[in-house]
């Protein structure tokens, strides 16, 4: 197995059209692979890797182009999208005001990204299912 090396901080990233850029000045403390149906539909992909970081460690550049979308659910979420291209940049939850979720795919360097767990496996697409024993590795 290849040894991973932590990336240099700050982590940088942005939306597909580069109208929005951001920095994360501390390593995200959790990265999950989300297999829920909602994430599949929002991303158009089989799963999404997302990392959580402290709000005070993140800084969105050109924030006037971030458009919010509120999603009521078991917990209220607000997603921030680029108003120009629609790329999702950040996620926020009302019950976790100090935490910001960043989609790993928006980072400039994703070579170090490894989820600590796979969640919502019951809705994982058939080709992406993994055993429950591997899910928490």
Per residue in 120-132, pLDDT tens? 888 888 877 776 5
Burial (CB < 10 A; 0-12, 13-18, 19+), residue 106, is buried
Domain topology for 22-126: glutathione-dependent formaldehyde- activating enzyme (gfa) (3.90.1590)
Note the pLDDT of residue 70. Answer: 80
- Residues 3-27 as b/e (b if ≥16 CB within 10 A, e otherwise) read eeeebeeebbbbbeeebbbbebeee
Return the number of other C-beta atoms located less than 10 Å from residue 64's C-beta: 9
Lowest mean pLDDT among 44-53, 65-74, 100-109: 65-74
Global pTM value: 0.80
Instruction: Find the mean pLDDT for residues 91-108.
Output: 90
């Amino acid at each position: 197995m290849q040894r991973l090396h932590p990336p240099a901080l700050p982590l940088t990233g942005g939306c597909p059209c580069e109208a929005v850029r951001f920095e994360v000045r501390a390593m995200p403390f959790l990265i999950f692979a989300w297999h829920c149906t909602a994430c599949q539909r929002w991303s158009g992909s089989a799963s999404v890797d997302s990392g959580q970081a402290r709000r005070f460690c993140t800084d969105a550049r050109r924030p006037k182009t971030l458009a919010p979308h509120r999603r009521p659910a078991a917990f209220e979420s607000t997603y921030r999208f680029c108003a120009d291209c629609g790329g999702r940049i950040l996620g926020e939850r009302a019950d976790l005001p100090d935490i910001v979720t960043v989609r790993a795919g928006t980072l400039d360097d994703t070579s170090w990204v490894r989820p600590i767990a796979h969640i919502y496996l019951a809705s994982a697409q058939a080709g992406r299912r993994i055993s429950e024993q591997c899910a928490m590795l």
